[in-house]
Structure 1
Amino acid sequence: MYSLHFLVILLIIPRGRGQESTQDVKSPEICENDCHFYNTSITSSTIKNWPSLCTTVCGNLVFNADTDLTGEQLEPYFQKLRHLNGIIKVELSNLTSLSFLGNRREFKCEKGELIIARNSELKNVSAIEKWYSMTPCIWHVVLNPKLNFKPHCDIPTSNFNVDLNVYGNLQNCGCRNLRAGPRSLLYFPKCTSIAGSANGGLKISQISEAHNVSVLTSLKKIEGVFEVYNTSLQDLSFLENLETISGNWLPYFATFSIHDNPNMARLGLKSLKKLTPLNGGLLVGFKNNHPDFCLTTYEIQLFSKSMAHFSDFEARICSDTYRKDEEKVCYFTTLKDVDSNCQHIVGDIVINDKNEKEIEKLNKAIIIYGSFTIEDTKYLEDLTFLKHLEQVVGLKMDSGPIVRFLSNSALKNVKFPIMKRPPFQINHEPVIEINGNLEIIFNNVQECKLHEEQTQSRVKYNGDECDALEELSFPSQSSPTQSFDYVESSTVEKFEEESEITSGTMENELSTGTSVIAITHSSVEPTTKSGNGAQILIVLISFASIHS
């Protein structure tokens, strides 16, 4: 008799960067009828229409050359304003200070940007420290000749949605939270290191090969977000001295992100040596670049070494085999054809009974870029032939286990001799699958979990997690015991001649009337060459539990 159970899962999906709900769109329902402002700018005439008694206003705050009021004159009108559904734009005005907007203000950043630009007399913008953007927003603070913006460069630390674009002021942010674009490049500081806060760092957009990017060639280190998007660049080779990218951990979007660059076919960061944080803390994305966008084995090795997590991986391995360190790269076709000097092997490697005599070809392999499987071998007992293998790197999103040991006759030991890092899978935890082998690989849960610890991976042993072995504890081959395991008698009739069998009934343990027998481990020797007795015992116990 079967019973069906349905599990209903409620998915709560956090809103990522750039995603807007319908509430982010200005609509009459957001504000009361008398709390709308429809004029295009603030002047002595239009200020009379400002709903000064409202705490939430739908409309735009635009101060420009037509604004003929001082900050002192404007202040009374905005004392109650707390929420603005619209844009804030201060451009070409004669204002000297924005203190009239100094109380706590929340606003939904219409069009994704706030502009404070080309205000010849503006000196004080400390009020923006109390502004809070409820949606992702680029704050353009540019070309204000009397403005010292340096004290405000850490705003993104307290306001996660804020992305700063600051240049051409009296003082800017130095080598902190920078954006490189067609206009800002003219004012770009010559930095060897760029520091970022929260979602700040270095962002490059809207530039092409025609722009002068020489100011970036001296850059050696980026701390924070590194993002390149909406450019016409073919690669990033102009960052010829960049050695370290130390990204922030951010929950919803990549901190190393290369996207929407239709001409970019290569990354081209030839001097890059170090990526942090380690152990999955760096979120990486490659998306919507040139259809042939590729990464070198050296670049992939850097990402796998840091155990980066990928949100998007629209990339392949570059076809050329050159490496700056001169280590040999080969593409795998068959084990017989592999050059025995290969150190980096690209492709899915399968060792089986037809090629297991060729395994010495892998003696010098350091990294395998693909999956690694040993299945149906007859004589292979361990992995000692992998003398230099440091890591297996999977390059497919949502793939299954990339390291597998399946249905081998003699394989006893699956420990990698010197593996330094866990198998790497680009968007989920590494899994090692061990299934259907005739020899016992793990005698107990401790051995299985030790292998998980050594490989820093999750092990699936004969279809189960390591914890499942707690109920199936087997004696070591050097210490036979007389412990009993119970199985259904109908499944072991053919072993009666080889085993000491005792029939009986265990109504308390199994379903009523189930006939069982007990087999001693000393009778069905687990130390036989094939290991059939011990392996079949495992299968029978599992069978009994299914029908109990």
Structure 2
Amino acid sequence: MFMYSDKNLKESDFQVVDNKKLDAENLCGSGLLHYFTDLRVKGNLKDCGCQGDEIDDSTLSTYKTCQNSYNGLYLNNVTSKDLSPLENIMQVKGIIDISNTDIENLSFLKNLVTFKYRNQETKERISFNLQNNPKMTRFGMPVLSVIHNTEVERSDGPEEGIVLFNFENLHPDFCLTVNEILLFLELNVTFRNLNAKICDVSQEILSEPSVCKFETLEKLHSECIFVIGDVVIDSENEHDIINVGNVYYIFGSLTIKNTKLQSLAYFFNLLAIVHLGNPFLKSKV
């Protein structure tokens, strides 16, 4: 059995509801159903997960045993300060949408490892939305490591869609850590909006030989893979450009001006420049 989506990529309506003698615990992962994220399986003798689109202040406490959330995870206009009932969720299938709340960070999803969404073709569809949360200062999902489009599992499926996130209208000091940014880069996450800074870099991270805070091009050593700061190359230091040969990521900006350089081949290892515009969150003393 295979169910096709409509022109807006909305999945077919599939419900297995209120069958008091039915053990549906393994239903959602069986056969071709494991491609789908918006399955509604509830009220049976055993269900394959909980329904993440039914969370509000009155139902929140019923999610204490939830490990797998289907139909995404929606926290819209939730006012509860205690989100601990969601801390056992290990997998979300479907869209994550957290909006119009006073939530400060997502650390309550401390066991969420896997986020699976379904995006077909190249139509723009936001899979993870953080929007209009004016007190949110951190992302803070400590073990998230898998972000996966179930559509790519189909050998006969249409072209894979992009991994599209939206982080918009959060606290002015909302920031991402270096490790969080690296995770998004590794998993090819694209942002419609990214209203964020880079969190203040801890001394623990800076103690790693591969991480360097940019001071001068001359001081950039050969082990430096991650450069934090605004890199400027000009007529005064262009003779030291060979020092960028092992740099993979720049967290800041890159400016090359007033030089006599004939090639930028020295940057042959550079994979990405993460520039958020005046991006660094300063420590508060």
Q: Residue 260 of structure 2 aligns with which residue?
A: 378
* Contact persistence 2:249–2:274 (CA under 8 A): no
Q: Residue 225 of structure 1 aligns with which residue?
A: 95
Equivalent residue for 1:369, pick from 240, 251, 260: 251
Indicate how the Cα distance of structure 1 residues 235 and 392 shifts in structure 2: closer, same or farther if over 3 A, else same.
Answer: same
Q: Residue 65 of structure 2 aligns with which residue?
A: 190
SS in 2 for 1:238: coil
Q: Residue 76 of structure 2 aligns with which residue?
A: 205
Give me the TM-score of the superposition, normalised by structure 1: 0.37
1:317-336 to structure 2, matched below 5 A, reads 317-321=198-202, 327=208, 329-332=211-214, 334-336=216-218
Indicate how the Cα distance of structure 1 residues 378 and 254 shifts in structure 2: closer, same or farther if over 3 A, else same.
Answer: same
Which residue identity lines up with residue 126 of structure 2 in the other structure?
Answer: A
Which residue identity lines up with residue 271 of structure 2 in the other structure?
Answer: Q
Is structure 2 residue 132 aligned with structure 1 residue 260? yes
Percent of residue pairs bearing the same amino acid type: 28
Which structure has the larger Rg?
A: 1
Which residue identity lines up with residue 309 of structure 1 in the other structure?
Answer: T
Indicate how the Cα distance of structure 1 residues 211 and 187 shifts in structure 2: closer, same or farther if over 3 A, else same.
Answer: same
**Greater relative contact order structure (CA < 8 Å, 6+ sep):** 2
Indicate how the Cα distance of structure 1 residues 269 and 326 shifts in structure 2: closer, same or farther if over 3 A, else same.
Answer: farther
Equivalent residue for 1:286, pick from 167, 180, 183: 167
Is structure 2 residue 231 aligned with structure 1 residue 349? yes
Equivalent residue for 1:358, pick from 240, 245, 253: 240
Deviation of 1:342 after TM superposition, in Å, equals 3.9
> RMSD of the TM alignment (CA)?
4.5
Q: Residue 241 of structure 1 aligns with which residue?
A: 111
SS in 1 for 2:109: coil
In structure 1, list runs of 5 or more residues that go unmatched. Answer: 1-13, 18-127, 131-140, 155-162, 398-548
Query: 1: CA distance between counterparts of 2:216 and 2:161?
Result: 33
Deviation of 1:334 after TM superposition, in Å, equals 4.5
Indicate how the Cα distance of structure 1 residues 190 and 323 shifts in structure 2: closer, same or farther if over 3 A, else same.
Answer: farther
* Contact persistence 2:72–2:95 (CA under 8 A): yes
1:132-147 to structure 2, matched below 5 A, reads none
Equivalent residue for 2:273, pick from 393, 396, 401: 393
Deviation of 1:282 after TM superposition, in Å, equals 1.0
Equivalent residue for 1:175, pick from 49, 52, 63: 49
Q: How many residues align?
A: 248
Q: Residue 33 of structure 2 aligns with which residue?
A: none
Deviation of 1:264 after TM superposition, in Å, equals 0.7
* Contact persistence 2:124–2:164 (CA under 8 A): no
Deviation of 1:354 after TM superposition, in Å, equals 2.1
* Contact persistence 2:87–2:110 (CA under 8 A): yes
Indicate how the Cα distance of structure 1 residues 282 and 267 shifts in structure 2: closer, same or farther if over 3 A, else same.
Answer: same
Indicate how the Cα distance of structure 1 residues 166 and 192 shifts in structure 2: closer, same or farther if over 3 A, else same.
Answer: closer
Which residue identity lines up with residue 111 of structure 2 in the other structure?
Answer: N
Deviation of 1:255 after TM superposition, in Å, equals 0.7
SS in 2 for 1:235: coil
In structure 2, list runs of 5 or more residues that go unmatched. Answer: 1-6, 29-37, 153-159, 278-285
Deviation of 1:308 after TM superposition, in Å, equals 2.1
Deviation of 1:201 after TM superposition, in Å, equals 1.4
* Contact persistence 2:124–2:161 (CA under 8 A): no
Deviation of 1:304 after TM superposition, in Å, equals 2.0
After superposition, the C-alpha distances for 1:327-382 in whole angstroms (9 at most, x for unaligned) are: 55444464346566543223443433321222344344231134445555436656
Query: 2: CA distance between counterparts of 1:233 and 1:264?
Result: 6
